[in-house]
Amino acid sequence: MAKFDYDLFVIGAGSGGVRASRIAAGYGARVGICEESRVGGTCVIRGCVPKKLMTYAAHFSEDFKDAQAYGWNVVPGSFDWSRFIAAKDKEIDRLNDIYISLLSNAGVDLLEGRGVFLDRNTLRIGERTITAETILIAVGGRPFVPEFPGRELVITSDEAFHLSSLPERIVVVGGGFIATEFAGIFNGLGSEVTQVYRGDALLRGFDDDVRAMVTSGLRTHGIDVRLECGVEKVTASDSGAYSVHLNSGKILAADQVMYATGRFPYTPELNLEAAGVSMQNNGAIPVDEFSATNVANIYAVGDVTDRINLTPVALHEGHAFADTVYGERPRSCDHRFVPSAVFSNPAVATVGYTESDAREMFTEIKVFRSKFRHLKHSLTGSKQQMMMKLIVCADSDKVVGLHVVGQDAAEIVQGFAVAVKSGLSKADFDATIGIHPTAAEELVTLREPV
């Protein structure tokens, strides 16, 4: 008889956990997985997927205006929030079902409930206790909201997907991925949006030109971006509205206040101490390149490890873990040159170094940059600009950074990321013939460094 109930037990059925369990089961391992919420995790249930559907919904307001400039007699209609939310929820239910079938088709046992460590091989899941030779922690993260008076009145992205109505006025706090994306979503859907951020330009960590362009782009769309600004307290009124008291002394009236001030690794209730697994101060689980923790039979992938908190990275980490431990194909996830995008308006996508990081990394760099109006807007009169920027290491001629702001940024950069990841040179870019007329052709026609 087997010594353990499972060869592998995975805690958390999100992107990383589902991928790891399916691949391990494919190699013949006896696999179980537990989930306390819905199978699919943050990305599918309350993250990337529903958020992207919301960005599509939001973009129509601009599309209707653009259509008029192209001769269409479009009468802008009103937006039906409930109808959209119902359609979005139906699609999320469909994806949730697909994820459940993927697990059962792979022969993975799905247990409902939170996994709590009793020791390094034993977990309690609800009323059940199971044992496993190897345990993978893939519990992801949860929204972080700082302490302040009125904290209990605000929502996070988790609730933003399920509001009963579209807020007429919303204050979004934070200047990162989620805040900037949701500011654009609510603005596009017709809410009056104020974004409050403590820094001097949105999207810290991105290239400075990108940050400046996104900050001014959001303002062009009518979002009231308040920089170097904080919230002292939030109070509720009898009418159901809120007052957001800023540290500048100003008070903003809002129907919803959304905090997008980062996420924390969801380790607090795992009882990791019982298994002897180390944690960093922020709750993240430190792992080596093969996602192994300090305890020999326990691994961790995805946001809970706080490496690069993106779904495709978690998928890679989970897949590499299963190949290594069950497939006799030891491999690690390469975290260099991971492309990413912010689905804001204007959108951003990027791969590689920012200009300022590249200046520190390389002795000499060349910067190529082009700002222009998208051909589509030659008829619409929109003042929106696009930007393409390349950072080139002068010694090797390799393109080490590529940044796009504007329409289809993510679709463009996904393709170019292969070139940057492969270490192609500026000369290789120059030798590639553009597709005309596209915006992306700028990236192969940039001639003079700035």
* Catalytic site positions: 436
Pairing label, strands 399-405, 386-393: antiparallel
Applying the rule CB under 6 A, the residues between 284 and 313 that interact with ligand NDP are 309-310
| Interface pick for ligand NDP out of 26, 107, 262, 286 (rule CB under 6 A) | 262
Integer Cα distance of 438 and 375 in angstroms: 8
Region of 439 on the Ramachandran plot (φ > 0 left; ψ -120 to 50 alpha; else beta): alpha
Least distance to ligand NDP, CB of residue 39, Å: 20
Radius of gyration of the chain (CA): 24
199-224 burial string, b = 16+ CB within 10 Å, else e? eebbbeebbebbbbbbbebbeebebe
Least distance to ligand NDP, CB of residue 308, Å: 7
Applying the rule CB under 6 A, the residues between 202 and 221 that interact with ligand NDP are 204
Applying the rule CB under 6 A, the residues between 152 and 191 that interact with ligand NDP are 174-179, 181
- Beta-carbon count within 10 A of 71 CB: 8
**Which H or E run includes 53?**
helix 48-69
Applying the rule CB under 6 A, the residues between 43 and 62 that interact with ligand NDP are none
Under rule CB under 6 A, residue 134 binds ligand NDP: no
Specify the stretch interacting with ligand NDP by CB under 6 A; choose among 64-72, 98-106, 336-344, 427-435: 336-344
What residue is closest to ligand NDP based on CB? Answer: 176
Helices (H), 221-329: 311-326
Under rule CB under 6 A, residue 199 binds ligand NDP: yes
| Interface pick for ligand NDP out of 124, 198, 371, 374 (rule CB under 6 A) | 198
CB contact set of 295 (below 8 Å; sequence gap of 6+): 120, 275, 276, 277
Q: Which of 395, 402, 391, 399 lies closest to 426 in space, CA to CA?
A: 399
| Pick 121 or 350: Cβ nearer ligand NDP | 350
Specify the stretch interacting with ligand NDP by CB under 6 A; choose among 96-104, 114-122, 162-170, 196-204: 196-204
Q: Which of 275, 45, 30, 42 lies closest to 138 in space, CA to CA?
A: 42
Under rule CB under 6 A, residue 113 binds ligand NDP: no
Under rule CB under 6 A, residue 242 binds ligand NDP: no
Size of the site for ligand NDP (CB under 6 A): 22
Integer Cα distance of 203 and 210 in angstroms: 8
* Site of interaction with ligand NDP (CB under 6 A): 146, 174-179, 181, 197-199, 204, 260-263, 309-310, 340-343
